[in-house]
Amino acid sequence: MSKEEKELQIKALRELARGYRDANNALVTQLWDIDYQLMTLTSDKDAKKILCETKEKITAEIEEKKFDRLFQASLDKIKALEIELYGHSDIGSSSPYVL
């Protein structure tokens, strides 16, 4: 594989990783919103039931789609390719702008 092909593969993997991260974050944000609503509701049992059912569905979707694992696998591939190509990689740094 040529240098240009590897760079294109890294670029594609970065896009894919961003997509996995964003999809996972959207689902987790929904869970947080539901948890907040459940904490603030005091007496509406029907609303709590609906929220709990929705929370179960979202949790099942998170477990089924495994965006967090796909995201990590993409990062591992990017890091391996960058180390092979450049001798180092910024993946794994604490910067939120790495991707």
pLDDT digits (tens, 9 = 90+) for 34-90: 999 999 987 889 999 999 999 999 999 999 999 999 999 999 999 999 999 999 998
Q: Is the dihedral of CA 38, 50, 56, 16 positive or negative?
A: negative
Decide: 92 and 75 in contact? Cβ < 8 Å. yes
pLDDT at 95: 76
**Angstrom distance (rounded) from CA 99 to CA 95:** 9
Q: Cα separation of 22 and 75, whole Å? A: 14
Tell me which residue of 28, 14, 21 sits closest to 82, measured CA to CA.
14
Residue 93 has pLDDT above 90, yes or no: no
Q: What is the pLDDT of residue 73?
A: 97
Q: Is residue 96 pLDDT above 80, yes or no?
A: no
Q: How far apart are CA 61 and CA 35, in angstroms?
A: 16
